[in-house]
Structure 1
Amino acid sequence: MISFGLIKLIKKHWFRFKLRKASPHDRAELMRNKFYFLGKNVELYTMNFGTEPYLISIHDNAVCASGVRFINHDVSVHRVAYYLGLKRTDIDKVGSIELFENSFVGAYSILMPNCSIGKNSIVAAGSIVTKRIPDGEVWGGIPAKFIMKTEDYARKMVEESKKFT
């Protein structure tokens, strides 16, 4: 007789297998009912959606490159509780993560609780985002800081690409 726990484990591994094999668009569709909100034409090259994917909202035309990590539950505060002599349940840090329209998150970036990426904004690869990134800006670094306006970045990329044509 197969136990309920074993069936649940098999379903979990089957879902992860399907995620791994899916294209970025199909991966987004597989995650549609796991997220709080998922817009149209979303591309997810990553598979790491944290422990509470239901706190993630991704709007139309957003792209997450490979290796992006969604951390919507910061468990390090339990160490703080221990240090202060509190019960582990007395303190917690859980928050939503939202990617607005036409946003892009570069490879291996980390999105922390209560952060958002504004419309037409870009997060550079390897960044750690800890707060709200306004619309139309490029941010990068650890922690992520303002680099330039998306408009200026686009102009710069057009100029640089002329060198190769």
Structure 2
Amino acid sequence: MPPNRGTDFSTDQRQIRPREEESELSKWLQDAFDATAEVLVFSIPVLAVVFLTSDVELTFVTLAAIAAFVLGVTVQRHRPLGPAWPPMSPRLVLGRLLFYNIVLVAGLGLGGLAFTDPVVDFSWVEQPILGPSLLASLVALVAVAGFPSLVAAVGRRRRR
């Protein structure tokens, strides 16, 4: 066995060299991946019900709301508009599960109510999908913008 029993000097140099910083694109992609996983996992109850209904319009509106939800969470994780995006904790897992599903149901419900023919009598293009999709997406984006502040307010209230 050689006396140094290790690797050569060039291998040791490579191992102790500091790692390179991540680029903005790689940080953005990591935040987008995390946001997609978070939103999809916590929205499983509503997604299951929607996909089991086999209603094409409702499925499309749900997917539009989910896409807006993911985009909003990605932006909030990457560069928060207000308070930082809350980390995962046991209490926040339950809170996210409730919050995400309530927001999706509210967006789908408002989209369905606001753009039915007897109430508004207004057709977006020729398909009745665009209006509800935009409204459900807007509800999701507003909810994402308010979620960190809501968590902070609940945390302050619990400390009292």
Using structure 2 for the length normalisation, give the TM-score: 0.33
More strand by share: 1
Using structure 1 for the length normalisation, give the TM-score: 0.32
More helix by share: 2
